[in-house]
């Protein structure tokens, strides 16, 4: 064999690929990004007990794809979910109405693959999950943003956009909503507004795609029924996750959907099943422990949110504006209009502070340009305080705000 | 809210979706399909010990996507793989050359998404993995089959097809090969032929896509170096799996590739990581136990293959022809020319026997029409004997072969 120059893959790459990834260089020292959770709240002992019990009882079934539960996932986990969804979200469904997936991201991919083609239009909340927006962009699908208020998606705006599209002969493929602990704003859509949304869905023949993956993390412990639960017509696809309630590195989410959608998504789920051990452990742990674990988790998250809001007050003073979210793991913050959070993101990262710049979480890049998302579940209380101080220092150097006196002002006030 | 008729998703579905899935009705009584393994060979006690150790030591890291190991997967598992690949396959690579994926099926999807566009051509072994063929069909990619002999893909045929495509101005995007325990034929490509393939790859600028997911299961325990290991030019993408060596329901596979490909695939792996618990358990179990577990597993599989071949001889006599495979979990069987295994598949399933009809595993539907694949790892020895007897009965009723006397003939001979 002759020696040869390195093989060149470039001529083989099709058009339209995303930019190549950079080498991973580790987590930021102060990380306020990603859906990471509080390491001290992972129920390690409970998971150990669960995995011992379930492996000793059923470990041999790991020899079979799908654990002899079929392509919709481990049946005991689906049975836990039917009880949990009934109790928490008012959803009456059977185990056969549920499909376990590899995190709610796979749910997004399956729903999109079933309904979307390039050139299609979908309606989304104007501020919404970055991973949903990036998927739609990659698919060549137009995401039309519907403005939000403190109660989530505005129904007057939704009605106007639906009517406008109907006049133009365009049927949007779905209305994507995160109604319970909206990402990134943290609002909860009231029950009456959910009913309005369903009526518009029926009227225009556009299904609702309900992403409920933060819905377990409500400070009050109470939430409205899921949109899925309220629907009189069945035109709702409901998605949830164990990432926020137990641990994100366990890649387990689920879809509840009518069989017409489910049978199409199953045909597209060609991964030979989602991870079985993670499904087994979750079923074994959650059946006895979920209802007591979650309130403990949310109390800890609420305390971290308080630390974050105090740190922002102390470091940014009146330069940082935000609403107190009703649950979740993130805070949506407005800085003064002239701050460009895409630039702030770069400078902060260089200083060891990772943030989510607003434009990545909105269809309105102008509106979101001075906004950012801060995730507070993963850093410790001390890291939150130090990281926000470091962020304020970077922001002051780059944009002149907060003024140096903010800290003193705030202290004088309190 | 008014009562309403059921929501109709049909007008929203794009063209080209696969047919909807049917409701799952359970596993066949005698199942000779799928990559399922021997339930008695799942190392349950070893996995329990591993999961206890790793969860108590590192369980809190489950709060972080990617376990603080970054998007290429749990670092200790990648470090195990560098040692294993060096020892078993002759591959010298670093942990950063490896990406952990959710089973080798995700590897197929990522390689395909990086290199293929509708209308492209790829070269495959004429008889090959059904999941590879179905993916290519769904992507609108033409799969050109290269005939096999007892040593795998024929290099004279590959050279002719490459030359023909070059004349027509077509560069195939890759040469997909399962060189070590070929699926479904069970052959192993000798080292000299691997070198010939690499020389053709270099000459025509077509990379080799090496699927090594059965390569641990070789009866002799010895295998040629991986094509990846032999390449002087780096134009090889190597894929492997823990599904066959440990347990298929753990969805863990891996890709070894040059950074030019790796960085592109990482940009397309938007699933927030593969299941962390399964990666942790595998790393913890495999580092001390893999090298002793696999020979024990293959001895058991070889015994089941012997039972299968005996049962075929006894029940089908000379009507069933097959080569003794060099490893793996499947046997590729030829029945008399007039037997249509697509029809046999339907009739056998009705009788509780699941088989893989040949045409689903070949680009040459005519050649494969009287052939079938039988997987032998999952059923017990008794189930293998009973299932093959039941299959022979169905085949006799439908196609008149084997003749009723085969059993007696065979016994008289032995």
Whether B268 and B346 map to the same domain: the answer is no
Residue B63 burial by Cβ neighbours in a 10 Å radius (0-12, 13-18, 19+)? buried
Interface mutation target, options B45, B277, B300, chain A, most CBs of A under 10 Å: B277
Please report whether residue A1 resides in a domain. no
Whether B242 and B306 map to the same domain: the answer is no
B83 touches chain A (CB under 8 A): no
Q: What is the pLDDT of residue A413?
A: 44
**Final residue belonging to a domain, choices A289, A312, A330:** A289
Whether A281 and A364 map to the same domain: the answer is no
Residues in chain A within 8 Å Cβ distance of B49: none
The minimal CB distance from B234 to the residues A7, A12, A276 is found for A7
The minimal CB distance from B20 to the residues A34, A59, A263 is found for A263
Residues in chain B within 8 Å Cβ distance of A205: 7-8, 11
Whether B299 and B365 map to the same domain: the answer is yes
Whether A199 and A77 map to the same domain: the answer is yes
Residues in chain B within 8 Å Cβ distance of A67: 249
Please report whether residue B68 resides in a domain. yes
The minimal CB distance from A48 to the residues B52, B205, B248 is found for B52
Please report whether residue A318 resides in a domain. yes
Please report whether residue B86 resides in a domain. yes
| Domain coverage including residue B303 | 27-42+294-413
CATH of the domain at A164: 3.40.640.10
Residue whose tokens read 């995303």: A18
Is residue A169 left, alpha or beta, with left meaning phi > 0 and alpha meaning psi from -120 to 50? left
Q: What is the pLDDT of residue B162?
A: 98
Whether B148 and B163 map to the same domain: the answer is yes
Contact B60/A72, CB-based, under 8 Å? no
Task: Output b/e per residue, B275-301; b: 16+ Cβ within 10 A.
Answer: bbbbbbbbbbbbbebbeebbeebbeeb
Q: Which pLDDT band holds residue A5 (cuts at 50, 70, 90)?
A: low
A248 touches chain B (CB under 8 A): yes
Contact A276/B14, CB-based, under 8 Å? no
Residue B11 burial by Cβ neighbours in a 10 Å radius (0-12, 13-18, 19+)? exposed
Give yes or no for a contact between A376 and A331, defined as CB atoms under 8 angstroms apart. Answer: yes
Residues in chain B within 8 Å Cβ distance of A263: 20-22
Cα Dmax for chain A: 78
Q: Which residues pair with A357 in a beta bridge?
A: A372
Record the tokens describing residue B395, joined without a space: 């085949």
Please report whether residue B8 resides in a domain. no
The minimal CB distance from A20 to the residues B22, B65, B263 is found for B263
Question: How many CB pairs (< 8 A) connect A and B?
Answer: 324
Length of chain B as a residue count: 414
Please report whether residue A4 resides in a domain. no
**Final residue belonging to a domain, choices A256, A289, A322:** A289
Whether B228 and B335 map to the same domain: the answer is no
**Number of compact structural domains in chain A:** 2
Record the tokens describing residue A332, joined without a space: 């949506």
Least confident span in A65-79, A329-343, B178-192, B290-304: A65-79
Claim: this prediction has a pTM higher than 0.90:
yes
Q: What is the pLDDT of residue B310?
A: 98
Please report whether residue B13 resides in a domain. no
pLDDT per position as a tens digit, B326-374: 999 999 999 999 999 999 999 999 999 999 999 999 999 999 999 999 9
Q: What is the pLDDT of residue B68?
A: 79
Interface of B with A in 6-35 (CB under 8 A): 6-15, 17-24, 26-27, 34-35
Please report whether residue A130 resides in a domain. yes
B261 touches chain A (CB under 8 A): yes
CATH of the domain at B32: 3.90.1150.10
pLDDT per position as a tens digit, A243-295: 999 999 999 999 999 999 999 999 999 999 999 999 999 999 999 999 999 99
Interface of B with A in 90-149 (CB under 8 A): 96, 102-103, 105-106, 114-117, 120, 131, 134-135
Whether B31 and B119 map to the same domain: the answer is no
Residue of A nearest to B201 (CA): A7
Q: What is the pLDDT of residue A68?
A: 79
Whether A283 and A321 map to the same domain: the answer is no
Whether A315 and A260 map to the same domain: the answer is no
pLDDT per position as a tens digit, A370-405: 999 999 999 999 999 999 999 999 999 999 999 875
Distance from CA of A337 to the nearest CA of B (A): 32
Residue A334 CB coordination number (10 Å)? 18
DSSP secondary structure, A388-411, as one string? HHHHHHHHHHHH--S-TTHHHHHH
Whether B203 and B320 map to the same domain: the answer is no
Contact B11/A171, CB-based, under 8 Å? yes
**Final residue belonging to a domain, choices B289, B317, B351:** B289
pLDDT under 70: residue ranges of chain B = 1-5, 405-414
Whether A190 and A209 map to the same domain: the answer is yes
């Amino acid at each position: 064999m002759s020696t040869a120059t390195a093989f060149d893959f470039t001529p083989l790459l099709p058009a339209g690929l995303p930019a190549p990834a950079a080498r991973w260089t580790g987590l930021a020292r102060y990380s306020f990004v990603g859906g990471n959770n509080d390491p001290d709240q992972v129920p390690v002992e409970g998971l150990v007990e669960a995995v011992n019990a379930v492996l000793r009882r059923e470990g041999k079934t790991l020899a079979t794809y799908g654990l002899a539960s079929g392509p919709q996932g481990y049946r005991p986990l689906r049975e836990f979910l039917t009880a949990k969804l009934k109790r928490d979200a008012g959803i009456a469904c059977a185990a056969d109405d549920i499909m376990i997936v590899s995190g709610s991201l796979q749910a997004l991919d399956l729903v999109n693959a079933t309904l979307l083609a390039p050139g299609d239009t979908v309606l989304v909340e104007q501020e919404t999950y970055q991973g949903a927006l990036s998927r739609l962009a990659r698919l060549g699908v137009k995401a039309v943003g519907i403005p939000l208020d403190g109660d989530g998606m505005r129904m007057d705006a939704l009605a106007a956009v639906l009517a406008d599209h109907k006049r133009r002969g365009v049927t949007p493929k779905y209305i994507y909503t995160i109604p319970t602990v909206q990402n990134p704003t943290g609002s909860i859509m009231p029950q009456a507004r959910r009913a309005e949304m369903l009526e518009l869905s029926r009227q225009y023949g556009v299904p609702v795609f309900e992403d409920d993956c933060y819905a377990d993390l409500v400070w009050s412990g109470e939430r409205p029924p899921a949109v899925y639960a309220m629907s009189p017509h069945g035109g709702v696809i409901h998605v949830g996750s164990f990432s926020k309630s137990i641990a994100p590195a366990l890649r387990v989410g689920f879809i509840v959907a009518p069989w017409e959608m489910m049978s199409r998504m199953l045909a597209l789920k060609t991964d030979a099943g989602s991870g079985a051990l993670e499904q087994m452990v979750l079923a074994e742990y959650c059946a006895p422990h979920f209802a007591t674990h979650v309130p403990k988790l949310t109390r800890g998250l609420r305390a971290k949110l308080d630390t974050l809001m105090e740190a922002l007050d102390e470091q940014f003073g009146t330069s940082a504006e935000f609403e107190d979210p009703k649950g979740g793991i993130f805070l949506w913050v407005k800085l003064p209009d002239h701050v460009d959070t895409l630039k702030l993101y770069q400078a902060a990262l260089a200083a060891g502070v990772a943030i989510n710049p607003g434009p990545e979480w909105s269809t309105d890049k102008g509106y979101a340009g001075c906004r950012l998302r801060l995730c507070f579940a993963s850093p410790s209380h001390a890291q939150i305080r130090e990281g926000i101080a470091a962020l304020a220092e970077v922001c002051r150097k780059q944009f002149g705000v907060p003024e140096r006196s903010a800290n003193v002002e705030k202290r004088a006030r309190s």
